[in-house]
């Protein structure tokens, strides 16, 4: 199911994840209870590349900077 809908704004998160306990953002020091997850869509790649088709980044909802988190 491939849907090619454009995001309303560039900063809109695809998903919001709740943290089990609050953590401090490493960038803006806000105590976070949720993180935003934004999908990476591959738009150009070498034919021989073994990189995955898509990935995710987690971002602080306050400052929008990437924070280290893994969505598995
Ligand atoms: Zn932040």
Give ion ligand 1 contacts, CB < 5 A.
25, 27-28, 60, 62-63
Å from CA of 46 to ligand 1 middle: 34
**Cα of 55 from ligand 1 centre, angstroms:** 21
Q: What is the pLDDT of residue 10?
A: 52
C-alpha to C-alpha distances, 5 to 9, 13, 36, 58, 65, nearest whole angstrom: 12, 13, 19, 20, 24
Q: What is the pLDDT of residues 24-69, one digit of tens each?
A: 999 999 999 999 999 888 888 888 888 888 888 999 999 999 998 8
pLDDT at position 7, please? 46
C-alpha 25 – ligand 1 centre gap (Å): 5
> What local confidence, expressed as pLDDT, does residue 71 receive?
76
Query: What angle is formed at CA 63 by the lines to CA 58 and CA 69, rounded to 5 degrees?
Result: 20
Provide the residue ranges of all domains of the chain, joining segments of one domain with +: 15-59
C-alpha span between 67 and 36 (Å, rounded): 10
């Amino acid at each position: 199911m491939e849907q090619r809908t454009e995001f309303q704004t560039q900063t809109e998160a695809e998903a919001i994840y709740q943290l089990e306990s609050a953590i401090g953002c490493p960038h803006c020091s806000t105590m976070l209870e949720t993180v935003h997850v934004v999908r990476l869509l591959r738009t150009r790649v070498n034919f021989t590349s073994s990189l995955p088709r898509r990935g995710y980044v987690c971002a602080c909802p306050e400052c929008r900077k990437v924070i280290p988190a893994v969505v598995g």
